Amino acid sequence: MTNKEKETICQRYKAYLQIIYRLGNKVIIMKQLFAYAKVLGITETYSVFLGHIHEMVSAEIVRQEAFTAYNKVTSLHMITLRKFGIRYLEGKQNSQDVGAVPKSNTNERILISLYKNCYILKIIVPRIMKTETKVTLECIVSILESDKSTLLFNKNQGLEYMTHYLSSFEKYLDRGSYEWDIKELQLVKSKRMEGLKKGSKASSGKGVGNHFSCNDNALKKADYKFEDNRERYKIADKQRKMDFYTFDSMLTAFIYIAQMKLRYDENGDCYLAITILIFDINNKKDIYSIATHIACVYKMLKRYYMDDMRLNLKVGVVSLDEEASKLVQAEADKVVRDPRSKEARGKWLENTLSAWGITPQDRDCIQVHYTHYDITDRFLEGKKYLNLIRK
């Protein structure tokens, strides 16, 4: 098949390609793609949808493969954009100018896509249907952007989020802290790009490339040129993690801002209402990890805004299914006792938040909820949570 014929097919099915690229980071569960096809009015019948997919697969525009979760193959399929499809959407002249989506040995990328699109289909699409006569991809993206959501951002894109979205709250920002972290992330990005240029060893995440990856420790590894950095190195690891926690840290930990809005209370005072989602895609996050991230996110947001700006943080801990969600909540509500006197010292979540610097006044501004998207029954053929994590 010639490139011109492939471009014709890309044009014909551009709506599909844009959904996969924009909402799934180039990968999506086929079942969810069909849900979008119906709600966006692309097709109503599954047989027609399969015909569209088959044509794109035959033209080597997308790749269709079995959906594997937790090293178990399900009967569902996932769709991945191939280089020609990516090239078409990005307007590149040559397939060599774009990177291919790797066939990963883990299911992390597709699970992130699965969780994100569960949220969009469950929350965003119904919001649009209440106010608009037609659901479009542009409407979905517009709502997410209006909500200042990070769901459209991927790992190592915290800098892009800060420069494009937080600036809309410029009036309330603490410019010193905000610009300090912008400079840090710019430096990390620069170092990471240097690492990627060193060849395949770096680009595969090994050697030098891993040194510049954006995780919780990345900022302390880089060679900074800021005057107060020497003093910051002397503080405890826990405090350093909170001080160096950024939007990159959130994205790496599968934590996303669902919505960030300015609200007014009954007295007319302004406050910032923020909802975050913690996607527990690996089913291995204990409540300590969840609590530490909640504390770090709250401290990071407080760092970016002026002292008189009140924050209201709602946290949704999203698990695979009801059983997994109840297990996480039970861990959070477990009573902590003194090892000697056996006296109750509160719940595990509360104690961990307190140990990470969350004061009683801060705690009043944080609400934690436990939920799930029923992924086990809808996408994993009813395989139970405990079986999924058993090796």
Q: Quote the pLDDT of residue 387.
A: 57
3-state SS, residue 181: helix
Cα R_g (the chain), whole angstroms: 22
| Spatial separation of the C-alpha atoms in residues 142 and 152, rounded to whole Å | 11
Angle of the 237-244 helix axis to the 287-304 helix axis, nearest 10:
60
Neighbours of 171 (CB within 10 A): 9
Adjacent-strand bridge partners of 68: 73
Q: Quote the pLDDT of residue 342.
A: 74
Q: How much is the pTM?
A: 0.85
Q: Quote the pLDDT of residue 236.
A: 63
Measured CA distances, 370 to 252, 314, 322 (Å):
21, 11, 9
Adjacent-strand bridge partners of 259: 275
Please name the amino acid found at residue 229.
N
Domain ranges in the chain?
A: 3-114, 156-231
Q: Which residues contact 35 (CB under 8 A, 6 or more apart)?
A: 121
| Spatial separation of the C-alpha atoms in residues 80 and 96, rounded to whole Å | 18
Q: Quote the pLDDT of residue 285.
A: 65
Checking 61-68 for CB contacts under 8 A at 24+ apart, the result is: 61/6, 61/9, 61/10, 61/13, 61/17, 61/85, 61/88, 62/16, 62/17, 62/20, 64/30, 67/29, 67/30, 67/110, 67/379, 68/107
Does domain 3-114 bear CATH number 1.10.8?
no
Q: Which pLDDT tens digits describe the chain residue by residue (391 residues)?
A: 898 999 999 999 999 999 999 999 999 999 999 999 999 999 989 999 999 999 999 999 999 999 888 777 788 999 999 999 999 999 988 877 788 887 765 688 999 999 999 999 999 999 999 987 789 999 999 999 999 999 999 999 999 998 887 777 778 888 888 888 888 888 888 887 777 666 544 444 443 333 333 444 433 433 334 444 544 444 467 888 888 899 999 999 999 999 999 999 888 888 999 999 999 998 776 889 999 999 999 999 999 888 888 999 999 999 988 999 999 999 999 988 777 777 778 899 999 999 999 999 999 999 999 999 999 888 887 666 555 554 3
Angle of the 14-24 helix axis to the 108-119 helix axis, nearest 10:
100
Q: Quote the pLDDT of residue 202.
A: 44
Q: Quote the pLDDT of residue 104.
A: 62
